[in-house]
Structure 1
Amino acid sequence: MMSEEPVPSRYVKLTKEHDAPLEEIRPGELNQPVHVPQLEVRRCAECGQPLPESYQPPGDEAWTTGICGCSEDPESCWTGLFCPCVLFGRNVERLREDTPWTTPCICHALCVEGGVALAVATAVFHGIDPRTSFLIGEGLVFAWWMCGIYTGLFRQSLQKKYHLKNSPCDPCMVHCCMHWCAICQEHREMKGRLSDNLVMPMTVVNPPPVQEMSNRNSEVPETAPEQTQHVELETQAL
């Protein structure tokens, strides 16, 4: 028998000098998300749908009517002057279909109309203590400021929906300084964009006439009953 010669090993034994330097790996470092620019998709802030790469947001437009154009719509002008709570409730209901007009109307009546009535009563009755009158005045100013913020947020939502510019300045500041004019302007803007008198043309389509199919061959004559009977066959072994 031939002596078996030892086969040299194909693996190279590494010493400490050839070992790669050990890096400190913190716990959870390998589980971090990888940033891939190709997978980033722009989405709409309102509905969340993906947007194409060439999409450019529309620029802000100017209001169709000015802040002092109340005479352009006399109906909303008189309603906003004597019943601003009703007009504000209608505006909110048009902008947010899931909110009935009564809820914002009641909130507006308590803050604005109630505050105006309290201010008139405080000015008429002079027998109130000056300190009490001062506290009432501070409360009215605070309530008016809060009402301006609340109605200003609604105006801001309207501007965001229709891409409108600030007219003439910040929405909250507009309602604090020109509250009645701002409500009328918002009503005219939505009335022009969402007109209730707009009638969409409808096409009446009549259904096709009913068609009946008749098969004369399917009628079986009564004079030949033997043709309708089954033919019985018998098989015999040969």
Structure 2
Amino acid sequence: MNPPNSQSNYAQPPYNQAPATGFPVSAGYHHQQTKANQEWSTGLLDCFSDCKTCCITYWCPCITFGRIAEIVDQGSTSCALSGAVYTLICCLTGCGCLYSCMYRNKMRHQYMLNDTPCCDCLVHWCCESCALSQEYRELQNRGFDMELGWHGNVAQGSRGVAMAPTAPPVVHMSR
């Protein structure tokens, strides 16, 4: 047993971090983490600051959404596939926001952005075009060339993202 004032060999978690117990983290710790989130680089209603994006998003939101989804998914889905799924959901339900709000949520968590002015689903439900335009501008302001897509940005190195490492060469050993 350790004396009361001696140092333990076990690392202590930082003051504001929950101890690793294997149990779900209480809401108090989650609330502390969300306070450190960043503000969006532009406001939700700043959609008219970029007329080109605003017009594309208003008349054909599947293009804007597809580009956002490709970047947020880090190239695992293509712009065309995401845009097609968005269009299909719009045609079947009339509510593309059912799909696009999930990507806003994913993007917010990737970049630690605040959920302002309200929750993601409500933002997309009330103003789909403004929400998509804000997400598009946020990614542009973070250095992405949205027209290139994920793989084009990686190849160009516009964000300093290194290419995925390749497998090491196979070395054949003989006896």
TM-score bucket (shorter structure): 0.5 to 0.7
- The match for 1:70 is 47
3-state SS, counterpart of residue 38 of structure 1: coil
- The match for 1:18 is none
CA contact (8 A) 1:148 1:173 kept: no
Deviation >3 Å, runs of 4+:
39-42, 197-200
Question: Which residues of 2 match residues 43-82 of structure 1 at below 5 A?
Answer: 59-82=36-59
3-state SS, counterpart of residue 10 of structure 2: helix
- Matching residue within 82, 92, 110 for 2:88: 110
**Aligned CA distance change for structure 1 residues 37 and 178 (closer, same or farther; 3 Å):** farther
CA contact (8 A) 2:64 2:132 kept: yes
* Cα displacement string for residues 120-177 of structure 1 (whole angstroms, at most 9, x for unaligned residues): xxxxxxxxxxxxxxxxxxxx4xx52xx4332111101111111111121000111111
Q: Which runs of 5+ in 1 are unaligned?
A: 1-35, 43-55, 116-139, 201-238
The AA in structure 2 aligned to 1:175 is H
- The match for 1:188 is 137
- The match for 1:132 is none
- The match for 2:71 is 94
How much is the aligned-residue C-alpha RMSD, in angstroms?
A: 3.1
* Cα displacement string for residues 93-145 of structure 1 (whole angstroms, at most 9, x for unaligned residues): 11122211111101111122x25xxxxxxxxxxxxxxxxxxxxxxxx4xx52x
Deviation at 1:68, TM superposition (A): 0.9
CA contact (8 A) 2:89 2:99 kept: no
CA contact (8 A) 1:89 1:103 kept: yes
**Number of aligned residues:** 125
**Aligned CA distance change for structure 1 residues 40 and 111 (closer, same or farther; 3 Å):** same
**Aligned CA distance change for structure 1 residues 199 and 182 (closer, same or farther; 3 Å):** closer
Q: Which runs of 5+ in 2 are unaligned?
A: 1-7, 15-31, 146-155, 160-175
- TM-score by structure 2 length? 0.61
- Matching residue within 162, 181, 188 for 2:111: 162
3-state SS, counterpart of residue 44 of structure 2: coil
- The match for 2:10 is 38
Q: Distance in 2 between matches of 1:79 and 1:37?
A: 59
**Aligned CA distance change for structure 1 residues 67 and 198 (closer, same or farther; 3 Å):** farther
Among the aligned pairs, what percent are the same residue? 28
Is residue 174 of structure 1 aligned with residue 152 of structure 2?
Answer: no
Deviation at 1:41, TM superposition (A): 7.5
Structure with greater Cα Rg: 1
**Aligned CA distance change for structure 1 residues 167 and 37 (closer, same or farther; 3 Å):** farther
